[in-house]
Amino acid sequence: MKPIIDPDADFDAFLADLREDLDRMDGDPFLDEDPAPDDCDDESEEYDEAEEYDESDGPEDDFALAPPARASRSHAARRSAPRRIGRGILLALGVLLLLIIAGALAVVLMARAPEPVTEVPAAEEESSSSWQPVNDPTGGYATEAQAVQSTVASRREGCYTLLVLGKDKIGTNTDTMIVCVLDTEAGTLSAVSLPRDTMVNVPWDAKKINSVYIAEGVDGLMDQVEMIFGYRPDDYAIVNVDAFVEAIDAIGGVDFDVPIRMTYCDYTQDLYIDLQPGYQHLDGYNTMCVFRFRQSNYGDGETYKAGDLDRMETQHKLLSAIANQLLSVGNIPNFPTLLSIISDNVETSLSMGNIIWYAMEILKLPSNGINFYTIPVEMVDKGSLSYVYIVDDIWIDLLNCYMNPTDHLFTGDDLQIITLDDDGELCMTDGSEMYTNFY
């Protein structure tokens, strides 16, 4: 018996057969009516079995019934002919259904959870870190000696961590740095933004965290994140401007309340911001403009009063609006497009299977399961630059409540962050030495 779909058949031949079936069909394209046979054209030809029936042949019963007269064959054929769907249409729908099922199965089978760091540092309880600054006479940015001296703490089941970086058009500055913790057991995604001016203990003069990427790359930045959070993120994803714009357009834009009048022009980055305040629908480009805006540089534009802190608050509200739009039922069909954008434009340590897994897990989250936080900081001037330092006691509470993927409660000894001591002087939380050369 010939199979419905011949695996050896040429696809062009299949299309030709499909076109032939479509051409052969009359009227309703979903009907395939065979013409009545010639011997059924005469509707007067009757097969009256009632006249040929001999009552003597039947049972001697007053209730015996004679067989009913049969209508003409041509009339019966037209009346009872099944409305059969064209074979070509049926075949095409079957193939399409199989492709959809196969595609869905392929996506599910590709999904792979990332490999979390199962053991993370935890400071020795009875001794402080033995770390000392690296005196590199060549001026290199060696950081391997800055690893936290530690014992081992265990990761909680179902927790995954990710560092997300946003690069500008030039591709050297990482003005957006967000650490995410996905807890699949609790059904939450928690994210903390790092201010670009956060002071970090590095050998060069401008000790801002957004200078680390250009100096040491993503590995150096992951080192600094580990010193602030007490653990190294499992993976990283570096998103460029074009990917952000394409992704927002792919989900149909986002509705957002722009907080202030925004005007900014930077020819070197092909960046032109001109947005009025108020609730409005933003396409991909204008969403990117709101996300990146820090201060106006022409016209009647305004500037955030609290600088980078107000900017991060706007970013968090915008990310929440994007998350709500992304998780809407209508955007589920857009996920293949988003995966393609990520694959083509995002530099990441995640495999495509990991990305698919993250997407599937995020789709399971309730709308109130995604929360954004800002690391608590205070402003300080040092040298010729303005910085922010981390308020360690508030940060440690926030870290342990929302951003801790381990079974260990972090203390200041677990971290290597710059803060103020009781005398108002800059110091390291673990008591280690600090570079004092400021620009």
d(CA 323, CA 366): 10
pLDDT-derived band of residue 341, with 50, 70 and 90 as boundaries?
A: confident
Overall pTM surpassing 0.85 (yes/no)? no
pLDDT at 346 over 80: yes
What's the whole-number mean pLDDT along residues 171-193?
A: 89
In the chain, the amino acid numbered 326 is L
d(CA 314, CA 308): 10
pLDDT at 372: 92
Q: Identify the structural domains of the chain with CATH numbers, from first to last.
A: 1-31+85-110 (no CATH), 156-428 (3.40.630.190)
Q: Which residue has the higher pLDDT, 67 or 430?
A: 430
pLDDT-derived band of residue 28, with 50, 70 and 90 as boundaries?
A: very low
pLDDT tens-digit series, residues 358-400: 988 988 888 788 999 989 999 999 888 999 999 999 999 999 9
Q: Dig out the tokens for 396 from the structure.
A: 């440690």
pLDDT at 429 over 80: yes
pLDDT tens-digit series, residues 53-88: 444 444 444 444 444 444 444 444 444 444 455 665
pLDDT-derived band of residue 96, with 50, 70 and 90 as boundaries?
A: low
How far is residue 218 from each of residues 9, 17, 192, 388, measured CA to CA in Å?
50, 56, 18, 22
How far is residue 245 from each of residues 80, 250, 271, 283, 352, measured CA to CA in Å?
59, 9, 12, 8, 20
pLDDT at 186: 93
Bridging pattern class, strands 159-167 and 235-239: parallel
pLDDT at 309: 84
Using H for helix, E for strand and C for coil, what is the string for the chain?
CCCCCCCCCCHHHHHHHHHHHHHHCCCCCCCCCCCCCHHHCCCCCCECHHHHCCHHHCCCCCCCCCCCCECCHHHHHHHHCCCCCCHHHHHHHHHHHHHHHHHHHHHHHHCCCCCCCCEEEEECCCCCCCCCCCCCCCCCCCCHHHCCCEEEEEECCCEEEEEEEEECCCCCCEEEEEEEEEECCCCEEEEEECCCCEECCCCCCCCEHHHHHHHHHHHHHHHHHHHHHCCCCCEEEEECHHHHHHHHHHCCCEEEEECCCEEEEEHHHCEEEEECCEEEEECHHHHHHHHHCCECCCCCCCECCCCHHHHHHHHHHHHHHHHHHHCCHHHHHHHHHHHHHHHHHEEECCCHHHHHHHHHHHHHCCHHHEEEEECCEEEEEECCEEEEEECHHHHHHHHHHHCCCECCCCCHHHCCCEEECCCCCEEECCCCCCCCCCC
pLDDT tens-digit series, residues 111-130: 567 777 655 555 444 433 33
pLDDT at 185: 93
CA R_g for the chain? 35
> CA triplet 125, 127, 128: central angle to 5 degrees?
105
d(CA 205, CA 429): 20
In the chain, the amino acid numbered 389 is Y
Bridging pattern class, strands 188-193 and 370-374: parallel
> CA triplet 258, 195, 435: central angle to 5 degrees?
160
pLDDT at 288 over 80: yes
Lowest-pLDDT range of 182-186, 301-305, 428-432: 301-305
